[in-house]
Structure 1
Amino acid sequence: MNGASREALAAARESLDALTDNTSVDAKKLADELAAVTALLHREVSLRRVLTDPAQAGEAKAQLAGRLFGGQVGGETADLITGMVRSRWSQSRDLVDALEELANIADLTAAQRTGVLDDVEDELFRFGRILGSSTELRSALTDRSAPASAKSELLRSLLGGKADPVTERLVVRLVTQPRGRSLEAGLESLSTLAAARRDRTVAVVTSAVPLTDAQKQRLGAGLARMYGREMHLNLEVDPSVLGGIQVRVGDEVINGTIADRIAEAKRRIAG
């Protein structure tokens, strides 16, 4: 998102945080309702264009949203939506992206309240690794001809009773409502949101052998000093790196593997 949309999303996040700071607010219900509105506005292109039309007054758009959704969702969800359509959005799609993000944050807030946010982070990461290693599973979950109900059933058979219900809801929603994204990109976005719930950054660490607890603690502390915030380590084991570790934080890669040093030496010799 750029410009006005970024500012509108930041304001919407603040509104959601203020709302969910009240523990009497049902975060799961809020997530489900925001997800339902996301799906509706994704389908109804003309409606979302009306709700983001810069030529229309913000209050008029808020009143329209209130009439459309007031009887369909709870008061908290309706207040969030009307506040969002008062804002200015650079593109109509940005409103839908923002609503989806708020739905995911609300689900992660529910996980945080019950003390299972760490589990959800780890389960999302592990599911991504499973997806990457199984062409058959990925094909089944991305098959455009397969009904959403069949994909949901497959995921529930895989995750039901094995993963936290929040993880299951997030993954089912991502698979059944991909909105043009790859599953890998969607899972990475969810992991980033989960880490941000505690102002943490995700670092994907690849090593030839599993790290010891002491090594993980030292690495986490070193990265926290480097980036100025607590880091959540997603650990991968890949024997092909030979030795050392690779750390990826967002688009930045810190490569200290023996395989990379050998490749660099070969490039220099060839050059």
Structure 2
Amino acid sequence: MRGLSRTSLAEVEERFNAVAGSADLGTLADELFSVADLFDREHGLRRSMSDAARPAEQKAQILRVLLEGKVSAAALETVVAAVSVKWARSGDLADALERLGVVAASAEAEAQGRLDDVEDELFRFGRIVASNLTLHRTLTDPAAPAQGKRELLDALLGAKVAPTTLRLVTQLVVHPRGRSLDGGLAEFGGLVASQRQRLVAVVRSAVALSEEQKQRLAAWLRTSYGHDVHLNVEVDPRVLGGFSVRIGDDLIDTTIAGRIEEVRRRLAG
């Protein structure tokens, strides 16, 4: 989000933070996801609720009539706050609600002491799906029934991951909202990490790193970037030797494969 929508998101986050403290965070996350999905399905409702020319009080009243008794007070107040501000594009309204749903789910995981688990599990699930073409096709098939996808995810992950991980993966699979599954997992992983204001580094290495190596690398990155850094380590024999680290658009490449590619580029130039 940019400009007007970024400012509006900050206002809605203030209201969200004020009401989320006493809420059941898992339920709040599910409800915000549901309302975001409602706005995605009902284009007329979304346009009406994001219409800057319509009085905020009128939009709030419509939402109260529509949602009161169907969602918690915390979810209702968050949604009312979201329709009461102005958005640069109508889709930003649903984006904001989904984003706050991820924040609520992350806060629940943090309260349970499982935030690190969620970050690791989202990353590992992404690698599993990327390496299993049949699973990837099944989960991303737009014609496949949503309930079937839910049941498959519950069978695959239900007893093996944190409840927050299953909640976030299910949201991405059932409601991709125009994203690739890989892109959605990366987006949600970044939002989970931001719960502690941490950066996420994807590390590719030819061999698994020891805990001591991970700690040294994390400490060096923390010093370099001025933030705590969560490491997602991927073992990839194609790197030949050394390792690479990607944080956002930054790439630190010490791999032999990377050096060979650099030599090829220089020769080609």
**TM-score normalised by length of structure 2:** 0.96
Count of aligned pairs between the two proteins: 269
Equivalent residue number for residue 162 of structure 1: 160
User: Cα distance, 1:210 vs. partner?
Assistant: 1.2
Report the Cα distance in structure 2 between the residues aligned to 1:178 and 1:270, rounded to whole angstroms.
40
Which residue does the alignment assign to 2:121?
123
After superposition, residues 179-190 of structure 1 pair within 5 angstroms as: 179-190=177-188
Counterpart position of 2:12: 12
Give the corresponding residue for 1:195: 193
- Residue-by-residue CA offset, 1:114-150 (whole Å, 9 max, x unaligned): 1111111111110000011000000001112210011
Q: Report the more deviating stretch, 9-18 or 104-113.
A: 9-18
Q: Give aligned-pair identity as a percent.
A: 51
**1:182-235 deviation per Cα after TM superposition (whole angstroms, max 9, x unaligned):** 101110011101100111010001111111222111111111111111000000
Partner residue of 1:69 out of 67, 70, 87 = 67
Q: How does 1:1-271 map to 2 (within 5 A)?
A: 1-20=1-20, 22=21, 24-271=22-269
Q: How far apart are residue 25 of structure 1 and its match?
A: 1.7
Question: Aligned with 1:84: secondary structure?
Answer: helix
Q: Which amino acid aligns with 1:209?
A: V
Q: Which amino acid aligns with 1:226?
A: S
Give the 3-state SS of the residue equivalent to 1:235 in structure 2.
Answer: strand
> For residues 153 and 78 of structure 1, what CA distance do their matches in structure 2 show?
29
SS at match of 1:266: helix
Give SS of 1:163's match: coil
- Once the two structures are superposed, what CA deviation does each residue of 1:219-269 show, in whole Å capped at 9, x if it has no partner? 111111111110000001111111111111112211111111112112223
Q: Distance in 2 between matches of 1:189 and 1:52?
A: 24
Unaligned runs of 5+ in 1: none
Normalised by the length of structure 1, the TM-score is 0.96
SS at match of 1:89: coil
